[in-house]
Chains A and B, each alone.
Chain A
Amino acid sequence: MDGNEAVGHVAYRTNEVIAIYPITPSSPMGEWADEWAAHGIPNIWGTVPSVVEMQSEGGAAGAVHGALQTGSLTTTFTASQGLLLMIPNMYKIAGELTPAVFHIAARSLAAQGLSIFGDHADVMAARQTGWAMLASNSVQEAMDFALIAQAATLEARVPYLHFFDGFRTSHEVSKIEVLTDDDMRAMTDETLVLAHRARGLSPDHPVLRGTAQNPDVYFQARETVNPFYAVCPDITQKAMDKFAKLVGRAYHLFDYHGAPNAERVIVLMGSGCEAVEETVDSLTKHGEKVGVLKVRLYRPFDVARFVAALPSSVKSIAVLDRTKEPGCPGEPLYLDSIVALHETGRTGINVVGGRYGLSSKEFTPAMIKGVFDNLAAAKPKNHFTVGIVDDVTNTSLDYDPSFSTENPKTVRALFYGLGADGTVGANKNSIKIIGEDTDNYAQGYFVYDSKKSGSTTVSHLRFGPEPIRSTYLVTEANFVACHQPVFLERYDILKEAIPGGTFLLNTPYGPDEIWGKLPRVYQEHIVSKKLKVHVIDAVKVAHDSGMGGRINTVMQVCFFAISGVLPRQEAIEAIKKSIKKTYGKKGDEIVQMNLTAVDNTLAHLHEVKTSARVESRVELPLPVAKEAPDFVRDVLGEIMAGRGDLLPVSKMPCDGTFPTATTRWEKRNIALEIPVWDFAICIQCGKCAMVCPHGVIRAKAYESKALASAPSTFKSTDAKDRDWKELGLKYTIQVAPEDCTGCALCVDVCPARNKSETRLKAINMGSQPPLREAEVKNWDFFLGIPELDRRKIKVGSIPQQQLQRPLFEFSGACAGCGETPYLKLVSQLFGDRMVVANATGCTSIYGGNLPTTPWAVNADGRGPAWCNSLFEDNAEFGLGFRVSIDKQKEFAGELLKKLAPQIGDTLTEAILKADQKDEAGIFDQRERIAALKAKLAGVNSLESRALLTVADMLVKKSVWIVGGDGWAYDIGYGGLDHVLASGRNVNILVLDTEVYSNTGGQCSKSTPRGAVAKFAAGGKSSAKKDLGLIAMTYGNVYVASVAMGARDEQTLRALLEAESYDGPSLIIAYSHCIAHGINMTTAMQNQKAAVNSGQWLLYRYDPRRELAGEIPLQLDSRAPKQKVEEYLLMENRFKMLTKSDPARAKDLFRRAQLDAERRFKFYEHLSARPSNGQKEPAKPPQAATAVTS
């Protein structure tokens, strides 16, 4: 069980109302609650809690507040920015002395960059709200403290914020003792529950809360709560004591562990305590006088208990905070500790503070020893950092990274896998087997990279007879498994193997061949550490067993067979039992397939006779090419190579600013097959390039002289387009072989078939390795061919438009992503003049997650400028861009007019009256601005210098506000609505996947009726919100609904119209998604079916048409020609409901059909309504709406 499930288990059973909203890493708690409720699982009072998804964490907090005020036991789960959004309500809930527990998977806050990983920045930002704060340090404690907090809050009437470290605890899989319903009942005082209920609002005994208070009494009223806070620690300890009696695990508000005569003590809270305890145990065995003080109840801070918990022998203390408060005299726990010692008169202790572990930065025994060593110094460093190298302000402590406290009795295993191969799932299963079938303790922690396609996973597993407190990654592994041979050329996997350890490799090479294939560094490790090496061709075994590419079961069997964790036969039986249990409900077929794989494995597992000498001359390639810019090579390249932890502070930008166009340096080579162009068949329609989600298929038309130095395998043919034919241009479609993900979407949309062999098209998939070398050369040559002048491209024609260079390329989005083709198209059309406000979500992750970004630049160095603010504020953020740019443009115009005498009236007038509606107009304006700048250089005045800073704003700037449906329909809807109403010229692109894709497919208000999604486990009962229709009601908003896979030319037209409209534009783009449970290779067919069935409408609403006396709405969809159900059954999100609840599926599918029919008729009516023929004012007023609260 992981931490989230452990907490959810208690929270669900001890509450009646649960308000949820997804945010990493806390989402699974809400998902569990929704699933359990869907399954009808009752709480300890025998009723199924009401689980309600809200539109934001702020909304969840409001709903919780309301539910509490009306007497229900209520909880919620969140993290990071979500907690920040709850803070206003948290003050209210605490101010009204309301019992409640919020469970927080503590996570970093977005500052210079967002991070989904764990630290205490979020909870520390809530410490002033008046909530008690209880920190748990492990999966077991997370479950225990969830209950202790629940029991304590009822008595204390102080709400509790129960937190545990995001990922390290929330996602660590651990063997724990699960609390029973009886335990929970025993901890719950029913009289207190009734008292809470009785305080609830009811017209039967009316009261008033939430008054507005004046200077005369607010202060006094604020002080009324003091007695409650005074007894809160006692009540918490009482609950802990009761818990200890009940289940045998004893906790205290401050738990000291270590030498009774300790002189050096570390004070901290959270999962780091476990690693410190392990280190203390190791050091005290060697006679060191050290200890750790674990802070459990952080608020209210019990000064007396804190001081009493410290041994009298203590001479120095290091207080570690997992947060940073720039500019503070010390981080919170440090300051609290100092105050406690000061106020109790405990003197003679040297207290220093330090920061550690931000954003799940490793916190290891070596670092901890470094902290103890610092305390032993005559003048310990204060305000230090540990775990990084700070070469800017020199805060960091030095430590010996080789220091280890790993328990020799613990088996430590590392598994390198690909996301798609099932490695993580198999390892979670192994932990379950070992945890359930043996007396061993087990721990699993999983590290993922930030790509959504071809991502590497590293599983860190520990098993042993003694409790495991190692809350850090495995670095000394007895067993290392490489599940993908491609990793051999990427990573030095064996650096973590200990002497005498075991290496398991999945490879197509047999035991007699593999030695000669290993890179030198691998041979060195094997020889010097005397590693035992085993190989298996898991792909073949899996394939022969009917498992396709999933090698999970095969590799799991290998692990058990050679690791010796369990006797071999016993392990095999346990795996088989587990397979039946895990896959049973998916049908006999799946069970049998896995059982066959188990039986087929051992015969193909071979031990390798290794050589005693290192013979290989194969070196690991550099992570990026030598010619990459310094920053890319020295910083981003190190991150790519997995050495980001070693980068010192000085290497990082101080303000979060990074160069764009960096994915081009990250050659991932993840495609097994890549597209191969057949120019003899190709009709040069450009569709393959248009749909390519990763920007790896490019088209160019060029003069034949460009072919002079072409590589021999470079393909070229005569251009077919009439315009180009007249010019005698050549044409090429080229694939970037090392950047392709192999999704094959291009092949599916290619309309040209080989006349003699119809299985072939004008683009076909071919094995990548034999093509790689030649195509790399071809790609490089292709990039060097001059681009066609953008002014000569007819942007309304897809074959021509696709020649525009994408300024969004090689993203790490899922292979076959449905969102990125739209972004790429926008970047082609407007990239050289666009600035992007990007809501948090998939787009911000594949768009802006380090190390690289797909947003690129053209040959002139121009390209999209991009920024992510938050999830909830993106529309407002983008509006800020617009207002700012317009202001600067206005200012530039004013300055220009003032400087007209020096600049010249002709140029001034030309600039101010420039027509920038098309590429030629923009080109000319850029020329004028260049001339202006040249003239300004010769004018020495304040105004001239000012104009130089804003002159570029006189060239058209295109503001794009981009995000998903979670943002547009839910959390950001209020802002989006306001921006639509503003009348400002912004382009809002909603990439509508109909779920919160980035956090794993939770239901949004865009989710269609009948779809199964997280938070809608029983199938969504309500219809999809019609965002476009709402936007149309303003009348002055350009609105389009598009689906590239259904009609690409309509998508193109909509984007061009939207951008050209001098007002707000909203484009809602159907984006297929891996969260739909579809074949991503043929996903454009799903888009087509969605449109053909009427499930998704294509339309464009253009306010300009109204001005011209035309009907503004153009319905681009034809009458539905297939049943909605036919489309629904193409997607697992709908189809699975027919398997889980057939009757409900039938009902919802029927209603979905009615929805589609009703919607089509309504739009048909709107698009046919006669115009009143009256022309409206040329431009709607741009109201600057003042909002007060």
Chain B
Amino acid sequence: MDLRTTYMGMTLRNPLVVSACGPLSEDIGNIKRAEDAGAGAVVLYSLFEEQLHLESRELDHYLTQGTDSFAEALSYFPEPEQFHLGPEGYLNHIHSAKQAVGIPIIASLNGTTAGGWTKFAKQIEQAGADALELNIYYIPTDTKLSGAEVEQTYVDIVKAVKGVVAIPVAVKLSPFFNNMANMAKRLDDAGADALVLFNRFYQPDIDLEELAVQPSVILSTPQALRLPMRWIAILFGRIDADLAATSGIHHAPDALKMLMAGADVTMLCSTLLARGIDYIRTIETEMSHWMEEHWYESVHQLKGSLSQMRCPDPSTFERAQYMRALTTYKPA
């Protein structure tokens, strides 16, 4: 069975890519394990520019707190010769990952400033990453900010980064745009080599006992795949950029559906956190079996086969499908 796929110009042994997630890629051992389990590529956890800034400020604050106040204790800490405050750790990690495995290593970047996006993108390229995923993790809350401005920000970031690096650039984005299709096209026009659909935002929870809002991570459920699947199906064939599916891909059937909708790769996170990195092999094996049983020869063959463009009834991916669901609804 030929499970190979291409993603942003890279040929992957299969479309099963480890998604950007700290626990899966912070340890080089895990990256090796992913390769051994058959992953097509690994997207590293994100380098957060804001975090670098915060850590820098935090360090300065705590090294300065209480100093030069009391004659016996003019400072509280020794001063190291240097601090590794910039992206060095991340860049070294890219280098180590590249040394450790043969599969493509895709870095992930979350910037907060225009300068930050381009500076870190260049450094990531120089560190040896095969590609870069822009993790545009942005929740606009300013009531004066228009949707158009938000959209332009995305486009500007992609253009700026594409202007300074030669490696392929993917954009991971949220579904919260007025017209997702238009947004996808604009990012495509801006030079994005792939779109990763969709980012799952950190969703805070309420602790009833503590009466407090608490940040918490919840793993995706298989139901979550519906949203990206629809948009991948709609976008397939309409833009040049490759499409990566992420969210809710837990088992082989989920991956197959995404590929049929039009994804070039499928990204795995929650399922690996829940079942272990070795579960990639299970998914790969089950995909192969299903494809064999259904007389498929290659991923290429099934890719986009159920996209809006190629499916028997394109309207099912649009609103009409909802309307029909209503009209066929019969109260018990």
Contacts and interface: CB of A to CB of B under 8 A. Distances in A.
Interface of A: 24-25, 27-28, 31, 34-35, 38-39, 116, 167, 171, 418-420, 422-425, 446, 448, 450-452, 455, 457, 548, 550, 583, 585-590, 593, 753, 755, 758, 814, 845, 997-1001, 1012-1014, 1017, 1074-1075, 1077-1078, 1132-1133, 1135-1136, 1139-1142
Q: Looking at chain B's contact residues, is the secondary structure mostly helix, strand, loop, or mixed? A: loop
Contacts of B55: 587, 1139
Given A1014-B77, A1017-B78, A1136-B77, A590 B56 contact: yes
A845 B73 CA distance: 12
B76 A1074 contact: yes
10 contacts: A116-B72, A446-B68, A550-B64, A586-B63, A587-B56, A1075-B73, A1078-B62, A1133-B77, A1136-B80, A1140-B84
Contact of B68 (A34, A425, A997, A1017): A425
Nearest to A2: B74
B114 to A, nearest CB: 14
Interface string B42-61: 00000000001101111111
A999 B72 contact: yes
Given A1012-B77, A1142-B84, A24 B57 contact: no
A1000 B74 contact: yes
B78 A1132 contact: no
B69 A452 contact: yes
- 3 interchain residue pairs of minimum CB distance: A419-B69, A587-B56, A1077-B62
Interface string B129-162: 0000000000000000000000000000000000
B209 to A, nearest CB: 10
Given A424-B68, A1140-B80, A589 B74 contact: no
A1077 B77 contact: yes
B67 A425 contact: yes
Which of B53, B58, B81 neighbours the largest number of chain A CB atoms within 10 Å of its CB?
B81
A27 B78 CA distance: 12
Contacts of B70: 419, 448, 450-452, 455
A590 B63 CA distance: 12
B73 A1139 contact: no
Given A753-B211, A1000-B73, A1000-B75, A589 B53 contact: yes
Contact of A457 (B61, B64, B65, B68): B68
Nearest to B92: A1142
B78 A24 contact: no
Contacts of B29: none
Given A39-B81, A585-B82, A758-B211, A999 B73 contact: yes
A901 B85 CA distance: 82
A1017 to B, nearest CB: 4
Nearest to A1133: B77
A421 B86 CA distance: 27
B78 A31 contact: yes
B325 to A, nearest CB: 40
Contacts of B86: 587-588
A950 B72 CA distance: 40
A1017 B76 contact: no
A450 B65 CA distance: 17
Contacts of B56: 586-590
Contacts of A755: 211
Given A998-B72, A1139-B85, A1140-B82, A1074 B57 contact: no
Contact of B69 (A34, A457, A753, A1075): A457
Contacts of B82: 585, 1140
B68 A586 contact: no
A419 B67 CA distance: 7
Contacts, number: 151
A1142 B66 contact: no
Contacts of B69: 418-420, 448, 452, 455, 457
Given A424-B74, A587-B59, A1075-B76, 15 more contacts: A27-B72, A418-B69, A419-B68, A425-B67, A548-B61, A585-B83, A589-B52, A593-B57, A814-B66, A998-B73, A1000-B75, A1012-B77, A1014-B78, A1017-B78, A1132-B58
Contact of A1074 (B65, B72, B211): B65
Which of A28, A451, A814 neighbours the largest number of chain B CB atoms within 10 Å of its CB?
A814
Nearest to B206: A758
Contacts of A590: 56-57, 60
Contacts of A998: 72-73
B72 A422 contact: no
A1043 B68 CA distance: 29
Nearest to A1132: B62
A1139 B62 CA distance: 13
B212 interface: yes
Contacts of A550: 64
B60 A1077 contact: no
A448 B71 contact: yes
A753 B60 CA distance: 33
A583 B89 CA distance: 20
A1140 B83 contact: yes
A755 B211 CA distance: 8
Nearest to B57: A589
A586 B60 contact: yes
B103 to A, nearest CB: 25
Contacts of B76: 1000-1001, 1014, 1074-1075, 1077
Given A587-B86, A1000-B74, A1077 B212 contact: no
Contact of A583 (B60, B65, B71, B84): B60
B51 to A, nearest CB: 11
Nearest to A1131: B62
A997 B70 CA distance: 11
Interface in B68-110: 68-86, 89
A348 B92 CA distance: 80
B312 to A, nearest CB: 53
A171 B74 CA distance: 10
Interface string B203-218: 0000000011000000
A586 B62 contact: no
Given A758-B211, A997-B73, A1001-B73, A1074 B83 contact: no
Contacts of A424: 68, 74
A448 to B, nearest CB: 4
A600 B180 CA distance: 42
Nearest to A1015: B78
B60 A24 contact: no
Contact of A1077 (B57, B65, B71, B81): B65
Nearest to B72: A24
Contacts of B74: 28, 424, 1000
B97 to A, nearest CB: 16
Contacts of A589: 52-53, 56-57
B63 A1012 contact: no
A585 B78 CA distance: 14
A1132 B65 CA distance: 11
B102 to A, nearest CB: 25
Contact of B63 (A25, A27, A1077, A1078): A1077
A200 B330 CA distance: 102
A486 to B, nearest CB: 15
